[in-house]
Amino acid sequence: MDIRNTSCRNLHQGGYRSQSVSSGVSCGCPCAPLPPLPPSPASLAFIKLDATSGAPLPGATFTLTGPGITPQTAVSDTRGKVRLSGLAPGLYQLRETAAPAGYLPNTRTYSVLVNEGGSISVDGMPAEQFSLADMRAGIPISDAPVIDPITAGAATVTGTGGPGCSVTVIFPNGGQAAALVQPDGTWGVTVPMGFTLAPNDTVTAYQQCPGASVSGPATATVAPTPPGGVRTVVGQVSPIAWNSLGFGPAFLAQFDATAELRTDVNTPAPPARTATVVPIGDTGVGQFIIPDVPFGNYVLYIKRPGYLARTLAVTVDPGDPNPKTVQPPDGPIFTLLSGDVNDDREINTLDSAILAAHFFTLYPSASYIPEADLNADGEIGLIDRSILYANFFATSSIYPGAVL
């Protein structure tokens, strides 16, 4: 059997082709190549025109890109002149990246060839004969809005634009928010619920002004929250008048609870970091938002007059998202138990004595006290006493993770 043929067949079966082998012969030229002449930087200059009138058109932005160069940008001046200088020999691409207001941008990409001798051609035509005209738009195009710098976790996106124009913001999750530009030229939208802006996210905004078409996009990249910064601390609270009996939205509207970050359970942090618990629609749940909390260790203290305080050790540090959501160990919502009339974190005879002293008083009489009106119905009466006795001897220790 011929081994070479077998080998050859196997190679072909494997899908390979034979290769030619380099002979290794080098060039016999005796002289070294001449060193290249230093490239002579060239300049490309051309005129930007109004396509209808032929008049010079200022305010058009051009960008020149090419291998190994930083993109170069130039704007046409009052005489319509555009100048891009310092060009080394090579092939570049020229594009109009922004048209003046009221004009349709020229979308073509032009090839710019800079020769060794410094002469330039555009799309094969001598640069001296090159000019570029923009069509006036049938409808003027709105200017793109300006987006203010955004940091990760921001709750709002703001910027400037034309007063009376509308701005639409597109978020990385596809969510949109729109706002009217105020008379002072500012606008602001809220980041969609359930979405948090992360570092390096891109936010896009468009502007549309009355009588004009939609602008091109404006974009902004989300910056990381600076170290040593702050976080917004948020959480949810729900009242429980007695044991697991909940109360509805009408009750919650009167549920004047506050959430506070303290340096320890008995010491409010200086300055005060307190927020009111605000009802979330008709859900029967309220939300607190404590902004600008510096990194550190805190005790979260949630209190409604007449209810056992809820406490929780909370650490705010750079690893936290913004906003930072705090929740108790037993679920997403801090529930509060009623009957602690004197606010000593225990429901006992002291509380019942105070309630008895204010028995059968009605809001807004001087003897009515909200902390004894446990079901917040405007009357201190039998229901409140029943609630208090149902919760008798309960202390803040019923809450897992409580700081006592």
Which residue, 27 or 366, is less far from Ca ion as judged by CB? 366
Q: How far, in Å, CA of 313 to CA of 319, rounded? A: 17
In the structure encoding, which two tokens stand for residue 398, read together?
Answer: 């019923």
Among 84, 373, 394, 402, binds Ca ion (CB under 5 A): 373
Asked if 344 touches Ca ion (CB under 5 A), the answer is yes
Contact criterion met (CB below 8 Å) for 82 and 100: no
Asked if 215 touches Ca ion (CB under 5 A), the answer is no
Which residue, 206 or 242, is less far from Ca ion as judged by CB? 242
Size of the site for Ca ion (CB under 5 A): 10
Which residue, 187 or 307, is less far from Ca ion as judged by CB? 307
* Beta-bridge partner residues of 258: 276, 303
- The distance of closest approach from Cβ of residue 378 to Ca ion in the complex, given in angstroms and rounded to an integer, is 7
Contact criterion met (CB below 8 Å) for 398 and 387: no
Among 342, 352, 386, 395, binds Ca ion (CB under 5 A): 342
| Direct distance between the N- and C-terminal alpha carbons of the chain, in angstroms, rounded to an integer | 93
Residues 6+ apart with CB under 8 A from 305: 256, 343, 370, 371
Query: Of 45-53, 259-267, 302-310, 343-351, which segment contacts Ca ion by CB under 5 A?
Result: 343-351
Contact criterion met (CB below 8 Å) for 208 and 215: yes
Which residue, 274 or 342, is less far from Ca ion as judged by CB? 342
- The distance of closest approach from Cβ of residue 142 to Ca ion in the complex, given in angstroms and rounded to an integer, is 58
Which residue, 265 or 280, is less far from Ca ion as judged by CB? 265
In the structure encoding, which two tokens stand for residue 365, read together?
Answer: 């009489």
Contact criterion met (CB below 8 Å) for 351 and 400: no
- The distance of closest approach from Cβ of residue 346 to Ca ion in the complex, given in angstroms and rounded to an integer, is 5
Which residue, 76 or 391, is less far from Ca ion as judged by CB? 391
Contact criterion met (CB below 8 Å) for 312 and 235: no
Q: How far, in Å, CA of 307 to CA of 336, rounded? A: 6
- The distance of closest approach from Cβ of residue 257 to Ca ion in the complex, given in angstroms and rounded to an integer, is 17
Asked if 201 touches Ca ion (CB under 5 A), the answer is no
Asked if 371 touches Ca ion (CB under 5 A), the answer is no
Query: Of 133-141, 145-153, 272-280, 371-379, which segment contacts Ca ion by CB under 5 A?
Result: 371-379
Residues 6+ apart with CB under 8 A from 88: 39, 41, 69, 114
- The distance of closest approach from Cβ of residue 382 to Ca ion in the complex, given in angstroms and rounded to an integer, is 9
Torsion, Cα 271 277 278 282, to 10 degrees, reads: 170
Among 215, 311, 375, 391, binds Ca ion (CB under 5 A): 375
Asked if 340 touches Ca ion (CB under 5 A), the answer is yes
Which residue, 201 or 344, is less far from Ca ion as judged by CB? 344
Sign (positive or negative) of CA dihedral 362, 363, 367, 372: positive
Contact criterion met (CB below 8 Å) for 161 and 145: yes
Torsion, Cα 114 118 121 122, to 10 degrees, reads: 60
210: cis peptide before it, omega within 30°? Answer: no
E strand or H helix at 58, and its extent?
A: none
- The distance of closest approach from Cβ of residue 372 to Ca ion in the complex, given in angstroms and rounded to an integer, is 8
Contact criterion met (CB below 8 Å) for 315 and 404: no
- The distance of closest approach from Cβ of residue 335 to Ca ion in the complex, given in angstroms and rounded to an integer, is 18
Which residue, 324 or 358, is less far from Ca ion as judged by CB? 358
Among 96, 384, 391, 396, binds Ca ion (CB under 5 A): 384
Asked if 148 touches Ca ion (CB under 5 A), the answer is no
Which residue, 57 or 354, is less far from Ca ion as judged by CB? 354
- The distance of closest approach from Cβ of residue 308 to Ca ion in the complex, given in angstroms and rounded to an integer, is 8
Asked if 351 touches Ca ion (CB under 5 A), the answer is yes
> Which residue ranges make up the site for Ca ion (CB under 5 A)?
340, 342, 344, 346, 351, 373, 375, 377, 379, 384
